[in-house]
Structure 1
Amino acid sequence: MTDTTPDRPVTATPPDPFAPATLGPLSLRNRVVKAATFEGVVPEALVTDELVEFHRRPAAGGVGMTTVAYLAVSPEGRTHAECIWLRPEAVPGLARLADVVHAEGAKVSAQIGHAGPVANAKSNRATALAPSRSFNPVSMKVTRAVTDDDITRITLDYQRGARLVAEAGFDAIEIHLAHNYLLSSFLSPKFNKRTDRWGGSLENRARFARQVVRAVREAVGDGLAVTAKVSLDDGVPGGFRLPESAEFSRMLEEDGCLDALELTGGSSLANPMYLFRGDAPREDFAATLPPLQRFGFKLIAGKMMPAYPFEEAYFLGKARQVRDAVDMPLILLGGINTRATIERAMAEGFQFVAMGRALLREPDLLARMQSGDQLEGNCIHCNRCMPSIYSGSRCVLDHPEPIVVPAAHTIR
């Protein structure tokens, strides 16, 4: 899917992406953020040595900040049971992770959220929540429509979770408002069929997300940077898309609670490949499933996981429309694989870039780009890293088997 949006005039003196930069109260050593990419290495829903090492590598490799994904604010808000949820027991491990990242010279951010309809109710042993009652293909169960009491409780869960992240010594919080997780599903006309004050107009559909963003900022004050991940386009018919996403971004800017927006797209529930682009690893995903589910998946895989051609900075065209709508700092995500693309993003008025797959394959890529030794990442966008979340996220071309932290390097 090629974006034909005309190029935006370049900034006369774009910032050096490898020079120190300010993000809210933070001073980052450069303008590159390791994007939140699900790690799949916390079987007990608590920090492990593997998770610490997962984030130490890109920190040592030169990123300005790395993002831990995904920290649920409520037990039923986990994507599945093997997912960290924010409670006092999680704080010591998160503090250890923060210390290790800081020792490498980088900052660390926590992506917090509630999975909503994306949650696997069977794995969590808790009914999945959604704006409206609907069938959940992830767990093959029906979601429950969120009540006003749920909204009050979940908002407080975000606030409590944010305080725990601050207690653990993290530098920033990224609020997940994308990919049809709970707050994103409220934004989407496809999933939000409500007729009360939480549905209908964009102002109503955005109310829950804005309430949560305010609550998180109140919880942490000015001590942490607070950003939000916002979908430009769900990539599904009837979903959240431009120009509403630009208008929602304006609302968030007017609220004055965020230090930056990270712009993304796609639906974890209905069209994950819209986020990733490149090859659709249907066979690899099918191999992770039990036989009966594997058969069913193969029947719908083509529709659920369509392939989109990869191109550098594939969200740039849509992101320009948000850039034109707001003055706040923006983080460009999606297909950032070369030094030239990073510099182009700066020239077009984006303050930061977020990199995912390129750093998954080469955690030290940024240091080599900065030195000039390497100008392009080696990621081929086969997306076979996607199914590896079930055994430890990694580039399976370089690491066919799960990466194990040697006993001699165990971090205590």
Structure 2
Amino acid sequence: MTPQTTAGNDVTPGDPVRLGPVTAKNRIFLPPHGTNYSEVVGSARLAEYYRARAAGGVGLIVHEAVPVHPSGARLSGKVHGWRPESVEGFARVADAVREHDTRVFVQLYHVGRQMTPGKGMRSAWGPSARQCPETRSPVHPMTVDDIDEVVEAFATSSKHVSDGGLDGVEIHMANGYLLTAFMSAFSNFRTDAYGGSFENRMRLPLRVFEAVAAVLPDDRALGTRIAAEEMINGGLTVEDTCEILDYLRARVRIDYVSLSLGNYAAHENVVPDHSFPPVFNARRADVVRASIAPVPLLLAGRVRDAADAVRTLTSGAADMVGAVRPQIADPAWARGVLGRHGGRRVRPCVYCNQDCRTNLGKGLPIACSVNPEVGSTRPPDPVAVEVTRPLVVIGGGPAGMTAAIEARRAGRTVTLFEEQVELGGQLRAAVGARARGELGDYLGFLLDEVKNSGAEVRLGTRARRADLPVGADVVVATGGVQRVPDWAAAARERGIAVHAGWDVLGDTAHDCAGAVVVVDDGEDGWAMASLVDELVERGASVTLVTEAYHAGHLLPPLSVRPFHARLEKAGARVVPSRSVLLVEPGRVRLVSTVSEAPAEELAFDTLIFSGGHEPDPRDLGEWSRPSGGSVHVVGDAYAARGLGTAGREALEAVRATTAGH
């Protein structure tokens, strides 16, 4: 098939596409995203990560953003593009993907004023001294010598990419980083040749493109990533973006445009969570694509599955479609979109931003809440050895199901005990929140995997030590039990109804009429937010009380602002820095956690607590000592934590019981 550059009604995800001098075998790409898997010269772990996605069928990989200059190296775990040694790291990636005919471009950037300075760094660099509203880092207004140095660094890094055997360079002009900061009147207050007029604000990006084009061989692609809008007052609009691209295309080679949205002051648009609609940037993409045609447009952002990908391509919104988090969750996601998954169900992303994006902010390698392989510290045994000891899994929540699935893959004989009449554990309750529908997709995936694994499942049965085969290895994944706050227990003893949030989620017929007061009692993350979102969906008038300074402080950082926006839109009230002193019929008395302010009262028709979980005390004695085989306590049965931790511990426990570990 002759590759085309444009999409439309007759285009399919499997069609090849030309990106300047480079042809991608299909129209699915892996957008750039941080992993913290790298070292300053690359790493085998990062190359293997890309190899797995190339094997999964993707046509183009855009390597995670590579800083071009020491002043713009914001995070650890990054390849340093200005170092000659980076060539080795790029070559390692090229070698890893070559057999799969996948093209690899490298995104080059300078983080600019959005950097948080680390050890040995005096300040962030930017066009002006004005700070980023999000990071609040002190900013050094760049001198002309600084600007010259950065331009040269982009060229040097581009040559290293080419010397490493990769296929192209993507200049990062999106999301408030250095080049965006110069282009935007939101961040550029200079009065010299690099500020003021449109042409002056475009001077640095133009110089960067000219410098890169001068060193990049003709058979390498040169593209850019740009935000359709900055999504803040005074920032770049979609009309500005079209003008910027027209200006550059008239002067330099641009083989493709990859479209993003937002900057750090509107960061939730850069990495949208589940609350954003599918392919939410498509409307803006239509405008940009019409402006730049026939230059190909690449689009990502909540492209969940094959239906989203096909709709985006056939509508003409984009010429390639990408997805980061779905391809973290399932390296073979592209094969699923292409219909080449062999009937296997795609492991779905739930867009929680919990273990992928949040880990980056902590300087940790990315992990995944639904794929325990991502972030696991115990790889599979390279030598398959038969293990004849049976394995018993106690508990059928996400951790227990993961353990059973992994053990069956290793050829183990598995019996899974679940005390309830259905598998799912806390995940089944969470699915009761309509806004978290993708959790239901993940539950369905696990149920299918358990069914297809051939594990023996005993429902409605609480396992006892005496029931287990002699010498069996045991994985205890009994989850946690609801922790009832003291104030709620005292109110219940006096006959006052106080409902647990998980019970309300699981009961769609629960009466939410009148005033509903939700008291967060330490579970100030997705469990609380999902409960409040669901109550609002049911039409409740909600007041949220929290001991924290603000609601949702345990949510992933990029989900806090969207959560508060939903609360405000629904008219929900938030009462921060308060704890419950006393509950009386129809009234709850609150005291401040930060001052000696007088107690205040709230009236309620329904009172709900969103409390945490803790290990079931019944399991502490029952499974504390092994009997013949090994015993591994995982997930919330060990300590109440998150979905991703439970899955990784289950996987690693099974691998620890396998010969060779």
One-letter identity of the residue aligned with 1:252: L
On the 8 A contact 1:227/1:259 being kept in 2, the answer is yes
Unaligned segments of structure 2, at least 5 residues: 1-5, 383-661
| Structure showing the higher strand proportion among its residues | 2
On the 8 A contact 1:250/1:326 being kept in 2, the answer is yes
Aligned residue number for residue 26 of structure 1: 22
Local SS of the residue matching 1:255: coil
Whole-angstrom CA distance in 2 between matches of 1:203 and 1:24: 26
Aligned residue number for residue 296 of structure 2: 329
On the 8 A contact 1:369/1:376 being kept in 2, the answer is no
One-letter identity of the residue aligned with 1:348: S
Whole-angstrom CA distance in 2 between matches of 1:237 and 1:34: 31
One-letter identity of the residue aligned with 2:313: M
Aligned residue number for residue 282 of structure 1: none
User: Compared with structure 1, are the counterparts of its residues 176 and 47 closer, same or farther at alpha carbon in structure 2 (3 Å cutoff)?
Assistant: same
On the 8 A contact 1:80/1:124 being kept in 2, the answer is no
On the 8 A contact 2:336/2:346 being kept in 1, the answer is no
Local SS of the residue matching 1:30: coil
> Considering only aligned residues, what root-mean-square deviation do their CA atoms show, in Å?
2.3
Which structure 2 residues correspond to residues 68-217 of structure 1 after superposition, within 5 A?
68-86=63-81, 87-123=83-119, 125-135=121-131, 141-217=137-213
* 1:342 CA displacement: 1.6
Whole-angstrom CA distance in 1 between matches of 2:369 and 2:89: 27
Whole-angstrom CA distance in 2 between matches of 1:193 and 1:255: 25
Whole-angstrom CA distance in 1 between matches of 2:76 and 2:141: 21
* 1:28 CA displacement: 1.4
On the 8 A contact 1:278/1:382 being kept in 2, the answer is yes
List per-residue Cα deviations over 1:43-102 (Å, max 9, x = no partner).
x42212221122111101000011211211111111134422111112112201111111
On the 8 A contact 1:236/1:270 being kept in 2, the answer is yes
Local SS of the residue matching 2:12: coil
Give the structure, 1 or 2, with the largest relative contact order (CA under 8 Å, sep 6 or more): 1
Moved more, 173-182 or 202-211: 202-211
One-letter identity of the residue aligned with 1:75: P
Aligned residue number for residue 49 of structure 2: 54
List per-residue Cα deviations over 1:366-406 (Å, max 9, x = no partner).
11222264797611211212112232123223239823474
One-letter identity of the residue aligned with 2:358: P
2:337 paired with 1:369: yes
2:356 paired with 1:380: no
2:229 paired with 1:233: yes
Identity of aligned residues (%): 27
One-letter identity of the residue aligned with 1:15: V
Moved more, 356-365 or 336-345: 336-345
Unaligned segments of structure 1, at least 5 residues: 1-9, 280-308
Whole-angstrom CA distance in 1 between matches of 2:133 and 2:9: 49
Whole-angstrom CA distance in 2 between matches of 1:206 and 1:79: 24
Whole-angstrom CA distance in 1 between matches of 2:221 and 2:197: 30
* 1:22 CA displacement: 1.7
Whole-angstrom CA distance in 2 between matches of 1:247 and 1:273: 25
Which one has a bigger Cα radius of gyration? 2
Aligned residue number for residue 271 of structure 1: 266
User: Compared with structure 1, are the counterparts of its residues 151 and 41 closer, same or farther at alpha carbon in structure 2 (3 Å cutoff)?
Assistant: same
- From 308, 311, 336, the equivalent of 1:341 is 308
Whole-angstrom CA distance in 2 between matches of 1:74 and 1:191: 20
Which structure 2 residues correspond to residues 223-372 of structure 1 after superposition, within 5 A?
223-267=219-263, 269-278=264-273, 309-327=275-293, 328-349=295-316, 350-371=318-339
User: Compared with structure 1, are the counterparts of its residues 55 and 48 closer, same or farther at alpha carbon in structure 2 (3 Å cutoff)?
Assistant: same
List per-residue Cα deviations over 1:217-269 (Å, max 9, x = no partner).
111031211110001111222212221011112122222411000010111x3
Aligned residue number for residue 492 of structure 2: none
User: Compared with structure 1, are the counterparts of its residues 278 and 82 closer, same or farther at alpha carbon in structure 2 (3 Å cutoff)?
Assistant: closer
User: Compared with structure 1, are the counterparts of its residues 74 and 13 closer, same or farther at alpha carbon in structure 2 (3 Å cutoff)?
Assistant: same
Whole-angstrom CA distance in 1 between matches of 2:240 and 2:381: 52
* 1:174 CA displacement: 1.0
Local SS of the residue matching 2:338: helix
Aligned residue number for residue 399 of structure 1: 372
Local SS of the residue matching 1:317: helix
